[in-house]
A and B are shown apart, each in its own frame.
Chain A
Amino acid sequence: MRIVLIALFLFSPTVFAKKKVIYKYKEYEKFDLGDLEIKGSIVAPGDLSVKERRRKTFERNLLQRRSFDKEMIQDIKFLR
């Protein structure tokens, strides 16, 4: 048991120590765009198309006549 504990104590800095990471970038890279090839098939229609959608309908209040109550009162007022 003692031996195990001593071993742990001795090796712990090496086990928990962080590794030093070194990043390296490519110094030069070349793309030949003319040489690129995409494999697949075209699914979109050839000519321009617009999907029909329901148009917004605005409800305007057109003139309505529900009663002639105002005229009834006016007739009485116009009597005298």
Chain B
Amino acid sequence: MTEPGLVVDGLTVEIPTSRGVVRAVRGVTLSVAPGEAMALVGESGSGKSMTCRAIVGLLHPPARITAGAVRFQGRDLAGLSEPEFERIRGTGIAMVFQDPMSALNPVLTIERQVAEALPAASSPPRERRRQVVALLRQVGIADAERRLRAYPHQLSGGQRQRVMLAIVLARRPAVLLADEPTTALDVTIQAQILKELRRLQAQLAMSLVLVTHDLGVVRQTVQRVAVMYAGQVVELAPTAALFARPRHPYTAGLINSVPSVDRRAALAPIPGTPPDPVGLGDGCAFAPRCPIASAECLRGEIPLRAVADGHWSRCLKAHVVGGARVAGTAAQGS
């Protein structure tokens, strides 16, 4: 075990389409230490979910990994056969999905779906049932016994997400990838589920990769943030540093577009739309929407460079961002 935790190195995912090859994930490099919580942030289509799917080996064809490596506890996962991967999934790396309605099988009972996640060493049915009830209680499902025979459609959205967490708890994974676990829920329920997720992370001492587009969630939950845009990580930083001084204009734009109580700034959505995923060139993909872009931004690949200790940015003008304010938006702030 030379490398503990999860290391993603230059991961590239491509999808051949009728219009050309879409490079949905372009050379993503990340690492998550054991017990660490980090977030993958970006708009939909930025490649964050695809990155997670690639990590757990659940890409849907024709999407496939074309370059890079995913190493888990020092072992490269990209080349594993399906049976080998099955031994990693669940207990090694697990993933929960955005919509708990569609992520639970509609024709199987809750008990069945939780029980099948229990360690294979078979215990008598009564014991297993007791374990399922205990798991459901732990994630905050009150009348757990009565819920055993329920089907997913008979539960509320929050309860279904709790069932998913119970399943994770049964598996005790080393790394959990949570793909927008609260997006489909009401705001009040969101907070509860996040709390549950944090508790779970602490209890199992697992690594957490939280995929979200909600910066508010990020702030409360994780230690480190990777911001993705057009399939690339454009900024990677400790949470506090990122919010204090974003070093990529896209991140700055995201932060400015979030309503917050402590800042009376007018909401400033980022102008423009994300780029066409087909035929992305070398230069900065954000340049067309960027308030401080210049001609050099479109010339050649821009590397991810350290701008401070543990703070990385894929912007040529990282030194200008944040400090000199992002034109037009931050000017009205404070």
Chains A and B bind each other: no
Interface residues of A (CB under 8 A from B): none
